[in-house]
Structure 1
Amino acid sequence: MRLESGIHNTSEIGRLRRVLLHRPGGELENLMPEYLERLLFDDIPYLKEAQEEHDAFADCLRQSGVEVVYLTDLVLQSITDRSVRDELIRQFTAEAGIEDPRLRDTVAEHLSAMPDREMVQTMMAGIRRQDLRAAGGRLGDYLAAAGDGYPFAVDPMPNLYFTRDPFATIGTGVSIHKMHTPTRNRETLFGKFIFEHDPAYRNTPRWYDRGETTSLEGGDILILSPSVLAVGISQRTQEDSIDQLAETVLSQSKTFRKVLAFNIPKSRSFMHLDTVFTMVDRDKFTVHPNILSQITVFVMELDENRKMTIRQEDGRLEDILREHLELDRVTLIPCGQGSEIDAAREQWSDGSNTLAIAPGEVVVYSRNYVTNRSLEEAGIKVHTIPSAELSRGRGGPRCMSMPLWRDDP
């Protein structure tokens, strides 16, 4: 099947045809224990095995008929001429948190001297000060690169393999995000260049832009149907962002008629909406067991005058989903089969974070075997992938993937 260029994503479960991944690279080897919290990591994955696990993930998708494209390749496709390349370097160095102008110039020169692929990979991996010192031919540049003991001139981007968050494909458009933390906000620069310069994607409608003032992250966006979009009010997505996204999507998209804003706990264990629940079939969802009793949702719609209306609903998640998706019944599959111990252990490694590749067919981490057994018992076809190292980043298969094209459900 030959796919058109551009974006098409109207559900969580439609047959997945094209997906964006990022194979972990040198950014993981620039993680240090002293700076893990700053870089949003709890541990340091072993790169070689993380890459092998990620390759297994990509192979699993390809064997299911999914075209896999990589972030680095799309960034390279966006560098259509020398002026675009120079602008990418300029914006990258401007956003890299380099206070010393001389060091900023040294970093720009360092990147400019590289071939395109090496340059992009270096931007992602971060730049060690020792590499700049080794290349410096002037004493002032050498001293600027030496710095004050902090080992990086530019921090790494270790969260890049979670391609779900920096931007989100919604319908035929895209939202490029203002991330919650400076550490991750730099990731969205790559999305900006892809959707401004890559010939295959530069005409994509824009629902949200990275220049906004409040945060929005892709893990909080679930496309429940061609007409219903869900967004989490979370630790990392703010209500003002949801207002703007809802206004734009509902007024400009061709299919969406309703946004459900779920108010979820503001904690790391409930980082995004897709750690709370994910859709695995038309009427089946995995779910964090701690939200089974009660949840609050704000229903956002445009009235006949194209003005936004909002109403609050409090109730059980299954009732809310059944009503707004117009289903006869909804089955919730709790992480860890509802066991306090198994759920806590498997939620830590994203047992509720599944990637649907077709209705009733999902990719999951093999380590979450209790939850996976529940999925199989519910009639879901399960593809398991290894995750001893990937899971150290605290994200599952959905977090590691951004659908670019799905069939309609």
Structure 2
Amino acid sequence: MREKATFLVGFRYVCCFPSKVKKEFSVAVDVNSEIGKIRQVIVHRPGVETQRYPHGDFLQVFPLRPGMSSFNLEEAEKEFSEFNQVLRSQAVEVFELTDLLVEALDASPLAREDLISSFLRDASIRGNDLQEAARVVLVAASSNGDLVRRLFSGIRYEETTLDERSAFPLAFLTGNNFDSEDFLLGPLNTAFFVRDPMNVVGEGVTLNRMYWPFRGREVVLYEIIKRYHPLFSGVPQWYDHGGSFYLEGGDVVNIDARTVALGMSSRTEATAIDVLCQRLLWGGRGYQVDDVFVFTVPQEGNRVHLDAYLSRIDYDKFLVDPLLQENASVYRVRRGYAQGDVRVELLTSNISTILGLMVKEVGVRVVEFGNASIGHMQREYENGSLGTLCLSPGNLCVCKENVWTNDALDKVGMTLHPVSIQELTAGFGGPSSLCLPLWREKL
């Protein structure tokens, strides 16, 4: 096989794949805040994988909101296109997850086997016989694109040799054979929530350990991209998907080049935060932070991550859920005096003072937009009102349906790009959940 040739040209890698058109990729990732102007992102357009589960089983992988009888792919695709258009209108370079994965597979002859083996290790398929049946189907994929489609769509028993009468004649005779419609390997229905599996922190990434085991396979996709795609060549890693402790992307919030906020929640363990803090504070590869602020995240309804309760929208402005504001439990973590040690301090100030300390600004403003006890505001909080996507300082993509929140944002001078994502998120997150920034301009 001919080897890929890689040339460094200015600040771009130009990668030439055999029999493929030359394509350019940026050299590195870089995100130092949640408000710097976005330049590059990863997204994933929902596809046929969302239609593969029988209706009664769909709740296993996607929690439908009350009154939502099924996932309407046609409507979700319209919403995704509208969201994508907002990104492109702001000159954001948009990478599709599946395209990056195929390109990573094309980039190295080692990547395909690595992907299949890693994916099956995270698939919770019991025993060698079932593992091998799934492997046979994946290995038989006619191209890298076909392999990616199979991974996203899942594998039913009828697509394997396990469904053949000759393989298990007694099981067929006694009615104990596999149900052909059941899944040996389930679809990746939640992959369009791209913020959860991986984060960019500074010029490195975290590859997260997801709370729900079935979502671990999504992280494997990012592992392969990080390992083999030229876009991520030489990028350091701050957290390992193979670690023991849960960490999810919505609980990682970049404040500035020296400060990170983390959420301690039902999805992110204190032990994971300890591991990540040690790596970020003591740095390496030319990067380290000075402060990590750890927020104890309330667990209310469908809001489970820090980014559902706290959103920076401008240099000096934040949205803060009243539940977090009124019951703030925040810890400051800094380097200790010996190599590798950290110091932890419980902060007793009010939330505005803590936010000012984080961003090193006097007069930080928490935008008030309603009491959570009021019915319509409770609905907006649960509909991702704080899950705004900051495109640049004061320039926000927001949920169109959150009219009270959007009115308050308009009154404080924010530029708004409303989108309807009711089918996509079902209230489990806002625009920020559908977009993984790879590169933001520094403040």
Scaled by the length of structure 2, the TM-score of the pair is 0.86
Contact kept? 2:303, 2:428, Cα under 8 Å: no
Partners of 2:302 and 2:351 in 1: CA distance: 18
Q: What corresponds to 1:249 in structure 2?
A: 280
Once the two structures are superposed, the pairs formed by residues 258-273 of structure 1 within 5 Å of their partners are 258-273=291-306
Partners of 1:362 and 1:377 in 2: CA distance: 14
Q: Could you report, residue by residue, the CA deviation over 1:102-126 in whole angstroms, capped at 9, with x for unpaired residues?
A: 3322222222222211221221222
Partners of 2:300 and 2:158 in 1: CA distance: 37
Q: Could you report, residue by residue, the CA deviation over 1:181-202 in whole angstroms, capped at 9, with x for unpaired residues?
A: 1021121101111111112203
Q: What corresponds to 1:23 in structure 2?
A: 45
Partners of 1:390 and 1:375 in 2: CA distance: 23
Q: Could you report, residue by residue, the CA deviation over 1:60-84 in whole angstroms, capped at 9, with x for unpaired residues?
A: 1011110000111111122133432
Aligned with 1:372 (options 378, 386, 406): 406
Q: What corresponds to 2:232 in structure 1?
A: 201
The answer for unaligned runs of 5 or more in structure 2 is 1-10, 13-24
Partners of 2:298 and 2:371 in 1: CA distance: 21
Q: Extract structure 1 runs of 4+ deviating beyond 6 A.
A: 135-138, 141-145
SS at match of 1:178: coil
Deviation (angstroms), 1:291 = 2.2
Aligned with 1:120 (options 123, 133, 148): 148
Percentage of identical aligned residues? 29
CA distance change for structure 1 residues 11 and 164 in 2, over 3 Å: closer, same or farther?
Answer: same
Larger radius of gyration: 2
CA distance change for structure 1 residues 116 and 272 in 2, over 3 Å: closer, same or farther?
Answer: same
Aligned with 2:103 (options 77, 80, 103): 77
Q: What corresponds to 1:292 in structure 2?
A: 325
Partners of 1:106 and 1:141 in 2: CA distance: 13
Compute the RMSD of aligned alpha carbons.
2.4
SS at match of 2:294: strand
Q: Could you report, residue by residue, the CA deviation over 1:29-69 in whole angstroms, capped at 9, with x for unpaired residues?
A: 13444334432522532111111111111111011110000
Q: What corresponds to 1:102 in structure 2?
A: 129
The answer for unaligned runs of 5 or more in structure 1 is none
Partners of 1:118 and 1:361 in 2: CA distance: 39
Moved more, 140-149 or 185-194: 140-149
Partners of 1:281 and 1:146 in 2: CA distance: 59
Scaled by the length of structure 1, the TM-score of the pair is 0.93
CA distance change for structure 1 residues 335 and 222 in 2, over 3 Å: closer, same or farther?
Answer: farther
Q: What corresponds to 1:57 in structure 2?
A: 83
Tell me, yes or no, if structure 1 residue 129 matches structure 2 residue 163. Answer: no
Partners of 2:356 and 2:158 in 1: CA distance: 57
Tell me, yes or no, if structure 1 residue 385 matches structure 2 residue 419. Answer: yes
Q: What corresponds to 1:35 in structure 2?
A: 57
Q: What corresponds to 1:350 in structure 2?
A: 384
How many corresponding residue pairs?
408
Partners of 2:265 and 2:346 in 1: CA distance: 17
CA distance change for structure 1 residues 270 and 315 in 2, over 3 Å: closer, same or farther?
Answer: farther
Letter in 2 for 1:117: G
Contact kept? 2:156, 2:181, Cα under 8 Å: no
Q: Could you report, residue by residue, the CA deviation over 1:223-263 in whole angstroms, capped at 9, with x for unpaired residues?
A: 11111100000010000110110110111152521000101
Partners of 1:21 and 1:336 in 2: CA distance: 31
SS at match of 1:259: strand
Partners of 1:292 and 1:385 in 2: CA distance: 27
Contact kept? 1:38, 1:183, Cα under 8 Å: no
Deviation (angstroms), 1:402 = 0.8
Moved more, 140-149 or 183-192: 140-149
